[in-house]
């Protein structure tokens, strides 16, 4: 068997049938589907059992609710295929997903990392969805892992579901999803996998094989997270460790610092979400402490992001109050501009 496809599932009854049918309809049929139900309370389990009864390639596992990382780890333990792939329960594989990866594996037998492009889908329509590809001119790109931040700029490196992984590399090196994280665990898994690959080159098919259904308000990225700074601190530290180990160029390091700046900006904005239980005074104190930190000042020195001059003044003064005023003024000016137009 060539592929084991792991699908973590939690209360996905609205999208699960569509997801599993996209796998069932694959042109390349030599796969095992591992459906890991993470304690769903809706009809997800019933849908999974229907597929398991109708198609011997589908295997249903149920566990108590422990989070998506533990669900994926459970799937990895059950995998029988030579390669492991992932599919989220609200997304779809296009019909040639496995077929195209099978071709890549056959064409590049000395390689261990295989990626593809993907497409955003909204309102069940893919025709106008944004496509995420590394190149518009090459059919296949061969990218050394030392250029990982170029892949980051194309939003290709963080997810699991646009890649296939050699099972033996994962098993032999005990690579697992970090169960204590619910944000960024995919990225850490990918970096650890790349670090253990004997061949440092990534084979990337510039074709959209995966349909990513964009979810707006319910996304983890749009919720208040009390641990957001700790999570991003961990991601930043681990990423820099791998970049240094892979001896990347200074331009790649700069791109990482650009990423770190945007993460820190997210942390600052996260503090002022309504769900945060701190008082307004405590929120300003928390953010001003970040602005005063040597960590944040170090990021500012290394980043090449375009930053509004007034934001830079606010950073210099360590005043998040000023940051909020600048944002408020910019919002008002945009409203005035729209009315004039």
Q: Is residue 218 part of a domain?
A: no
> Could you give the angle at the alpha carbon of 199 between the alpha carbons of 81 and 158, nearest 5°?
70
Give tens-digit pLDDT for 33-88.
999 999 999 999 999 999 999 999 999 999 999 999 999 999 999 999 999 999 99
Same domain assignment for residues 125 and 19: yes
- Number of structural domains in the chain: 2
pTM over the 0.75 mark: yes
Q: Is residue 77 part of a domain?
A: yes
- Last residue of some domain: 213, 233, 255? 213
Strand 92-93 vs strand 113-121: parallel, antiparallel, or unpaired?
Answer: unpaired
Which has the closest alpha carbon to 259: 240, 276, 241? 240
Give tens-digit pLDDT for 202-215.
999 999 999 999 87
**Domain span including residue 200:** 3-213
Q: Kindly tell me if the per-residue pLDDT of 216 is higher than 70.
A: no
Same domain assignment for residues 23 and 162: yes
**Beta strand ranges found along 157-200 (DSSP E):** 163-166
Same domain assignment for residues 239 and 195: no
Same domain assignment for residues 82 and 179: yes
Same domain assignment for residues 171 and 318: no
pLDDT at 221: 58
Q: Kindly tell me if the per-residue pLDDT of 340 is higher than 80.
A: no
Other CB atoms within a 10 A radius of the CB of residue 335 amount to 10
Beta bridge partners of 210: 93, 118
Same domain assignment for residues 262 and 206: no
Same domain assignment for residues 227 and 179: no
Same domain assignment for residues 205 and 273: no
Same domain assignment for residues 278 and 129: no
Same domain assignment for residues 32 and 164: yes
Q: Report whether 169 contacts 112 (CB < 8 A).
A: yes
Which has the closest alpha carbon to 160: 107, 116, 208, 221? 116
Give tens-digit pLDDT for 265-298.
999 999 999 999 999 999 999 999 999 999 999 9
């Amino acid at each position: 068997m060539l592929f084991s496809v792991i699908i973590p599932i939690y209360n996905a009854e609205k999208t699960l049938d569509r997801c599993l049918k996209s796998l069932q309809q694959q042109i390349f049929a030599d796969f095992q589907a591992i459906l890991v139900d993470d304690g769903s309370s809706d009809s997800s389990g019933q849908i999974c059992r229907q597929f398991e009864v109708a198609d011997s390639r589908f295997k249903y596992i149920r566990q108590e609710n422990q989070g998506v990382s533990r669900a994926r780890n459970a799937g990895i333990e059950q995998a029988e295929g030579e390669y492991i792939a992932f599919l989220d329960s609200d997304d779809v594989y296009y019909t040639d997903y496995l077929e195209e990866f099978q071709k890549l594996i056959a064409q590049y037998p000395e390689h261990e990392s295989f990626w593809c492009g993907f497409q955003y889908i909204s309102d069940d329509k893919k025709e106008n969805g944004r496509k995420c590809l590394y190149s518009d001119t090459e059919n296949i790109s061969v990218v050394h892992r030392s250029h990982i931040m170029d892949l980051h700029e194309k939003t290709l490196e963080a997810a699991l579901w646009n890649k296939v992984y050699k099972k033996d590399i994962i098993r032999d090196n005990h690579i697992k999803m970090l169960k204590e994280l619910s944000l960024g665990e995919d990225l850490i898994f990918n970096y650890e996998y790349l670090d253990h690959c004997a061949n440092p080159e990534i084979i990337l098919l510039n074709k959209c094989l995966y349909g990513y259904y964009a979810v707006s308000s319910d996304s983890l990225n749009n919720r208040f997270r009390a641990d957001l700074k700790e999570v991003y601190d961990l991601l930043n530290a681990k990423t820099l460790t791998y970049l240094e180990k892979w001896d990347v160029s200074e331009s790649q390091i700069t791109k990482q610092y650009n990423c770190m700046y945007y993460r820190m900006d997210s942390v600052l904005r996260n503090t002022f979400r309504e769900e945060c239980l701190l008082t307004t005074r405590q929120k300003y104190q928390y953010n001003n402490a970040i602005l005063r930190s040597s960590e944040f000042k170090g990021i500012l020195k290394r980043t090449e992001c375009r930053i509004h001059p007034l934001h830079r003044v606010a950073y210099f003064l360590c005043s998040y109050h000023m940051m909020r005023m600048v944002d408020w003024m910019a919002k008002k000016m945009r409203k005035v501009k729209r009315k004039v137009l």
